[in-house]
């Protein structure tokens, strides 16, 4: 006696979902590219419970590493070079490691004043809980 197998497996790939997957990947790439501006710098920002939100656009960004190296436009430079290449602007964000010497930051502030910058933001990490100055 011969028993026939009659069930069939439908192997069609649902193309309807492909558009969704492509859309999700696109969103992921947009978000990840906008959040990682300086992937090579590992800065440990100081904590503060007094903070404002930094605007995402129109800022000139200066980074200072714990070794007191200044990074501007993804290039390491000294203060003399920074003076010559600093673009004019209104607001600047300084993202410096908490172990950076403040005298370097002070020199950058003086430079910003010379270049008629109006607002300066010191990037900090949010501190939760009660005020505790270290």
Partner 1 sequence: MKLKNNFKLNTNIPASAQSDIAFLLIIFFIVTAIFFERTGIIFKLPEKSGKTLKLTAREFIEIKAYNDFLIINKEKIDYSEIYVVLEAMKRATKRNIAIVYFSDDLKYEKFINIFQAVKKAGDIKISIKPLDKK
Q: Compose the 28-67 pattern: x for residues touching partner 1 by CB under 8 A, - for all others.
A: x--x---x----------xxxxxxxxx-x-------x---
**Host H or E run for residue 77:** strand 75-77
Q: Note whether 96 binds partner 1 by CB under 8 A.
A: yes
Tell me the CA distances in angstroms from 45 to 11, 104, 134, one per residue in order: 53, 15, 14
Site string for partner 1, 66-85 (x = CB under 8 A): --------------------
Please list every residue from 102 through 131 that binds partner 1, using CB under 8 A: 102-103, 105-106, 109, 112-114, 116-126, 131
Which residues is 75 bridged to in the sheet?
72
How far, in Å, CA of 122 to CA of 104, rounded?
13
Which are the contacts of 65, defined by CB distance < 8 A and separation ≥ 6? Answer: 41, 43, 71, 97, 100
- Contact footprint for partner 1 (CB under 8 A): 1-12, 14, 16-17, 20, 23-24, 27-28, 31, 35, 46-54, 56, 64, 93, 96-103, 105-106, 109, 112-114, 116-126, 131-134
């Amino acid at each position: 006696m011969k028993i026939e197998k009659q069930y069939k497996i439908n192997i069609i790939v649902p193309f309807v979902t492909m558009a969704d997957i492509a859309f999700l990947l696109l969103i992921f790439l947009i978000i990840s590219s906008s959040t990682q501006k300086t992937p090579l710098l590992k800065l440990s920002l100081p904590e503060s419970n007094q903070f404002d939100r930094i605007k995402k656009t129109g800022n000139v960004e200066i980074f200072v590493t714990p070794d007191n190296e200044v990074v501007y436009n993804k290039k390491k430079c000294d203060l003399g070079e920074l003076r010559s290449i600093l673009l004019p602007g209104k607001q600047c964000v300084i993202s410096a490691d908490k172990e950076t010497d403040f005298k370097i930051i002070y020199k950058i502030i003086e430079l910003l004043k010379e270049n008629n910058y109006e607002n300066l933001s010191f990037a900090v990490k949010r501190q939760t809980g009660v005020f505790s100055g270290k």
